[in-house]
Amino acid sequence: MKKTLWLAAPFLLLPALSAQAQSSEFNLICSAQAAWCNMLAVTFEKSQGVKVNMTLKGSGEAIAQIMAERANPKTDLWFGGTGDPHLQAAEQGLSMEYKSPTLPKLHDWAQKQAQQSGYKTVGIYSGPLGFGYNTELLAKKKLAVPKTWADLLKPEYKGEIQSANPASSGTAYTMIATLVQLMGEDQAFEYLKKLHGNIGAYTRSGTGPIKAVARGEATISISFVHDGPGEKAQGFPLETITPSDGTGAEIGSMSIIKGARNLDAAKKFYEWALTPSAQALGAATLQFQLPSNKETKVDPRVPDFRKIKLINYDYAKYGQTAERRRLIQRWEKDVNSLP
Ligand code: PLP
């Protein structure tokens, strides 16, 4: 009797111990809005019993960190941020191939993002690029609502516009890639040079300009328009518009880092993040991107893509390392060096 008990006790303990050893925590870089990232981390910790060590980074900063950690990865999973640098991570062999069983439940654009990367990333949300504007400031300054990219160059908007810096922000890189696809590269850079004269400040992250506009610190932002309804819901005098001459959309993505030390926990989060209930946490924290799981309830405040003139954004091309690096360097040299 005694002998049996002695043998059974460690055996019974084994599953609990090994589960704990495998899945107790993981390191996450989150490149979405802070409120959403925090909600994801807290809900996952509570519901799955896995600790999340989270760092918030813009998409450009995130890829820079993941590259720097290449020889000794500390990050296990990268959630959110624009799709181009996730494709770049895939191309550079920085992310791990993983074919989720949930893939067939995702919209085509999210599955295509996975296919294009050799299943090293996946689409988790999508949102269109446009302009945010402070209705009170526009009225006070007797300025019209900008309706096209060309409108942003009008002299009366001098110093009134905020954009992010494309070296650190995926939003701003999406703007450059969108303009290059709309106008051709040389014309796009002529445009960006002129726009530079109207920019009051470039921010580190793409989340900054629309918040500044909502709070009256700037008049117009170049931003993802799905960030607008959340600011409005908080009572700020903010509206958004997408340029009538056409615009790009991001495919916010998620990647498991190659060499992740906490792989099982990272995979657990990855699968959880693709479920409708986890995806609904975006709208719960006033983030109105279009979720990638077709079964996720779509909040009525999510921008209606059918009403937006979208370009056929070439994600494969603009997600290439060489292309992204070249365009950002050209922007630094030709545009950001100007007074
Ligand atoms: N915030 C929101 C709401 C986004 O949709 C995205 C892009 O996926 C980001 C932030 C990324 O920010 P950044 O432009 O700093 O890379």
Same-fold call for 26-126+250-304 versus 128-249+322-336: yes
Looking at domain 26-126+250-304, its CATH class is alpha beta
> SS3 for 96-146, per residue?
CCCCCCCHHHECHHHHHHHHHCCCCCEEEEEEEEEEEEEHHHHHHCCCCCC
Residues with CB under 6 A from ligand 1: 31-33, 58-59, 80-82, 127, 164, 169-171, 205-207, 224, 227, 250, 252, 287, 289
CA of 224 to the centre of ligand 1 (A): 8
CA of 308 to the centre of ligand 1 (A): 19
Domain ranges of the chain: 26-126+250-304, 128-249+322-336
Distance of CA 1 to the CA centre of its chain: 60
144-154: pLDDT as tens digits: 999 999 999 99
* pLDDT for position 12: 37
Residue 23 has pLDDT above 80, yes or no: no
Q: What angle is formed at CA 145 by the lines to CA 141 and CA 149, rounded to 5 degrees?
A: 120
- CATH number 3.40.190.10 given to 128-249+322-336: yes
Q: pLDDT (tens digit, 9 = 90+) per residue, 289-336?
A: 999 999 999 999 999 999 999 999 999 999 899 999 999 999 999 999
**How far is the centre of ligand 1, averaged over its atoms, from the C-alpha of 13 (Å)?**
44
Other beta carbons within 10 Å of 290: 25
Percent residues over pLDDT 70 in the chain: 93
Contact 245, 150 (CB under 8 A): yes
How far, in Å, CA of 7 to CA of 50, rounded? 29
For ligand 1, pick from 82, 165, 287 the residue to mutate: most ligand atoms within 8 Å of CB.
Answer: 82
Predicted pLDDT at 247: 98
Q: Which residues partner with 202 through β-bridges?
A: 163
